């Protein structure tokens, strides 16, 4: 299993598990919380068929990667991504993130620029700034996240049930766009993640990306479901066209947070059209 070492904790290496398939223009896919790189399974074959080289990896704390108790902030996550980009010497890359992964894309471009990147894609974005403050009235109140953290501390597994039900809008799409088996697969991946990371990442969601966005100088695709219950579209995706210099924004009517699974045809079509431009 291939790993890239991104640091150490108490003398032990912190490794990110990654997969590298195909040839052609590299597309790096960065997963959302609380899943792993395999969550892109409805995009991977489509991108390979389109002639792309596709790289997925598991964020620290998740999937097959190490589960340290340090580094759960976006500067570190972006540095982890840079370590992978450098190790594989990726050039003319498309960076694509879903949910938490959109933070890596945004902070990487903000911190390291676009020397290795030609395009970016944000699916169910977390930027620009999720927390409600005096200068960010469209954000979500801090009390919501404090409630999430208390729930996680009491019963991490019950938290995942609540989260994934709203991740897929199960009350609407159960049996049509999300099966019991697919939901259970996501649950199994989630409970295999680090308990520390499960909690620590909630605070990370409150990162302010507003200073990163003006630095992005490559074309960007933003795709989001209009009924996203995890990252409300009015607080996130609908704000980005005013903050990015070159952006294509696609709303998926009625879509939940993980439209890459429930509305894969629409997502894949938008992504391939963007890549072809």
Write out the catalytic residue numbers: 99, 228, 257
Contact 217, 243 (CB under 8 A): no
Q: How many CB atoms lie within 10 A of CB 135?
A: 8
Tokens linked to 266? 């629409």
User: Helix-strand-coil percent breakdown of the chain, rounded to 5?
Assistant: 40, 20, 35
Beta-carbon contacts of residue 201 (< 8 Å; ≥ 6 apart): 33, 34, 61, 72, 100
Contact 263, 173 (CB under 8 A): no
Contact 58, 3 (CB under 8 A): no
Q: How far apart are CA 254 and CA 182, in angstroms?
A: 20
Beta-carbon contacts of residue 16 (< 8 Å; ≥ 6 apart): 3, 4, 6, 57, 58, 59, 60, 65, 66, 80, 83, 84
Q: How far apart are CA 191 and CA 139, in angstroms?
A: 28
Is residue 187 within a helix (H) or strand (E), and if so which, with residue range? helix 180-191
């Amino acid at each position: 299993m291939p790993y890239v070492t991104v640091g150490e904790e108490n003398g032990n290496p912190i490794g990110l598990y990654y997969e590298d398939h195909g040839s052609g223009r590299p597309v790096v896919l960065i997963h959302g919380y609380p899943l792993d790189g395999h969550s892109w399974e409805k995009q991977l074959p489509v991108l390979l068929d389109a002639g792309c080289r596709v790289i997925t990896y598991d964020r620290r704390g998740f999937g097959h990667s190490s589960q340290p108790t340090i580094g759960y902030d976006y500067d570190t996550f972006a540095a982890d991504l840079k370590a992978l980009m450098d190790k594989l010497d990726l050039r003319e890359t498309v960076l694509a993130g879903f949910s938490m992964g959109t933070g890596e894309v945004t902070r990487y471009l903000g911190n390291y620029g676009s020397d290795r990147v030609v395009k970016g894609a944000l699916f169910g974005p977390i930027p620009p700034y999720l927390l409600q403050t005096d200068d960010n009235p469209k954000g979500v109140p801090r009390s919501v996240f404090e409630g999430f953290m208390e729930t996680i501390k009491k019963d991490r597994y019950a938290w995942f049930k609540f989260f994934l039900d709203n991740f897929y809008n199960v009350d609407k799409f159960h049996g049509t766009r999300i099966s019991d088996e697919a939901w259970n697969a996501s649950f199994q991946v989630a409970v295999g993640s680090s308990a520390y990371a499960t909690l620590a990442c909630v605070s990370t969601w409150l990162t302010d990306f507003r200073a990163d966005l003006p630095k992005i100088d490559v074309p960007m695709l933003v795709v989001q479901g209009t009924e996203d219950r995890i990252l409300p579209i009015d607080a996130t995706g609908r704000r980005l066209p005013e903050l990015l210099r070159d952006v294509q924004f696609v709303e998926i009517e009625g879509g939940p947070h993980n439209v890459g699974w429930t509305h894969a045809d629409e997502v894949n079509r938008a992504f391939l059209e963007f890549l072809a431009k």
